[in-house]
Amino acid sequence: MIVRLLALALALLPASAGAHGGHDGHGAAPAGGGATVTVGGYTIELLSHPAPLARGQAGHVVAKVLRSDGLDPATGGEVLIGLAAPGAEPEPAAAPEQTWAGHYAVAVTPERAGPHQVRVVLVALDGRPLEPPLVVDAPVTVERAPGMGGAAWAALALVGGLAALAVYAARLPAAPALDLLAIPWLRALLTSRAVQRGVQIALLGVTAVVVYAGLADVQDGGVNLATKLTWTIWWAGIIFTFVLAGRVWCVACPFGALNEWTARLSGAWRRLPRPFRNIWWATAAFVALTWADEQLGVVRSPRVTAWIVLFFVGLAVAIGLVYERRSFCRHLCPIGGLIGIYSMTAPIELRAKDAATCRTHAEKGCYQGTATAAGCPMFEFPQAMDRNNYCTLCAECVKGCARDNLVLRFRAFGKDLWASRRRVLDEAYLAAVLVGLTLLVTAQMLTAWPGWISALARWLPAGVRASLKPVTYLTLVESAVLLVGALVVGPALVLLGAAVADRLAGDRRLGLRRTFVVFAYMFVPVGLAVHLAHNLAHLLLEGGGIVPVVQRAAGLYTPLWLGVPDWSVEPLAPEPVVGLLQVAVLVGFFLLSLAAGRRLAAREYADPQAAGRAVLPFVVLSLAFTVAGIVLLQQPMGMRHGM
pLDDT at 253 over 70: yes
Cross-strand pairs, 49: 60
CB count within 10 Å of CB 212 equals 15
Cβ pair 640, 585 in contact under 8 A: no
Comparing 338 with 449, the larger pLDDT belongs to 338
Asked which of 132-136, 302-306, 620-624 is least confident by mean pLDDT, the reply is 132-136
Average pLDDT of span 309-318: 97
Comparing 608 with 445, the larger pLDDT belongs to 608
Terminal-to-terminal C-alpha distance of the chain: 25
C-alpha 243/C-alpha 238 separation (Å) is 9
Please work out, in degrees rounded to the nearest 5, the angle formed at the alpha carbon of residue 71 by the alpha carbons of 66 and 76: 40
pLDDT digits (tens, 9 = 90+) for 404-423: 999 999 999 999 999 999 99
pLDDT digits (tens, 9 = 90+) for 476-495: 999 999 999 999 999 999 99
Question: What pLDDT, on a 0 to 100 scale, did the predictor assign at position 287?
Answer: 94
**150-164 and 608-633 helices cross at what angle (nearest 10)?**
170
Contacts of 194 (CB under 8 A, 6+ apart): none
Comparing 324 with 9, the larger pLDDT belongs to 324
C-alpha 307/C-alpha 304 separation (Å) is 5
pLDDT at 320 over 80: yes
Helix (H) or strand (E) holding 263, with range, is helix 254-266
CA distances in angstroms from 466 to 453, 456, 458, 476, listed in the order given: 17, 16, 11, 14
Nearest Cα residue to 401 out of 370, 359, 360: 370
- Dihedral over Cα of 148, 442, 114, 44: its sign: positive
Question: What pLDDT, on a 0 to 100 scale, did the predictor assign at position 563?
Answer: 86
This prediction has a pTM of: 0.77
Cβ pair 393, 376 in contact under 8 A: no
pLDDT digits (tens, 9 = 90+) for 347-403: 999 999 988 898 888 888 999 999 889 999 999 999 899 999 999 999 999 999 989
- Dihedral over Cα of 242, 248, 249, 253: its sign: positive
DSSP state of 29: E
Residue 131, classed as helix, strand or coil, is strand
Residue 447: pLDDT band (50, 70, 90) is confident
Maximum alpha-carbon separation in the chain:
102
Cβ pair 117, 83 in contact under 8 A: yes
C-alpha 548/C-alpha 228 separation (Å) is 10
Residue 6: pLDDT band (50, 70, 90) is very low
Range picked from 461-465, 536-540, 585-589 for highest mean pLDDT: 585-589
Cβ pair 548, 569 in contact under 8 A: yes
CB count within 10 Å of CB 631 equals 15
- Mean pLDDT, the chain, whole residue set: 85
Cβ pair 253, 242 in contact under 8 A: no
C-alpha 356/C-alpha 352 separation (Å) is 10
- Dihedral over Cα of 251, 256, 258, 264: its sign: negative
C-alpha 626/C-alpha 617 separation (Å) is 14
C-alpha 83/C-alpha 589 separation (Å) is 42
Contacts of 428 (CB under 8 A, 6+ apart): 516, 517, 518, 520, 521
Average pLDDT of span 321-329: 96
Cα-trace Rg, the chain:
29
Residue 128, classed as helix, strand or coil, is strand
Contacts of 111 (CB under 8 A, 6+ apart): 55, 56, 85
Which residue type is seen at 313? V
Domains, the chain: 2-141 (2.60.40.1940), 150-169+424-633 (no CATH), 180-346+348-410 (no CATH)
C-alpha 583/C-alpha 428 separation (Å) is 26
Question: What pLDDT, on a 0 to 100 scale, did the predictor assign at position 30?
Answer: 57
Cβ pair 110, 142 in contact under 8 A: yes
Percentage of the chain surpassing pLDDT 90? 53
Cβ pair 397, 376 in contact under 8 A: yes
DSSP state of 54: B
pLDDT at 2 over 60: no
